């Protein structure tokens, strides 16, 4: 889960850009969580608590 969230946040600057960049800084202030991050956390919480 941590890896999925980290990957989503780190890749957030390239979400709408077609790039093949392989070298990039891992942590920058411009990285932001996305709707995918929020939905992943909500799904995990729902699965853990049994609430829908």
pLDDT tens sequence across 12-28: 887 788 888 788 788 88
Per-domain boundaries in the chain: 2-49
Per the CB < 8 A criterion, the answer to whether 8 and 36 are in contact is yes
Supply the pLDDT for residue 38.
Answer: 95
Q: Is 32 left (phi over 0), alpha (psi -120 to 50) or beta?
A: beta
Whole-prediction pTM: 0.71
């Amino acid at each position: 889960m941590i890896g999925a969230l980290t990957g989503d946040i780190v890749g957030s600057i390239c979400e709408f850009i077609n790039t093949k960049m392989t070298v990039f800084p891992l942590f920058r202030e411009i990285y932001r969580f996305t709707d995918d991050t929020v939905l992943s956390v909500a799904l995990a919480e729902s699965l853990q608590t049994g609430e829908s």
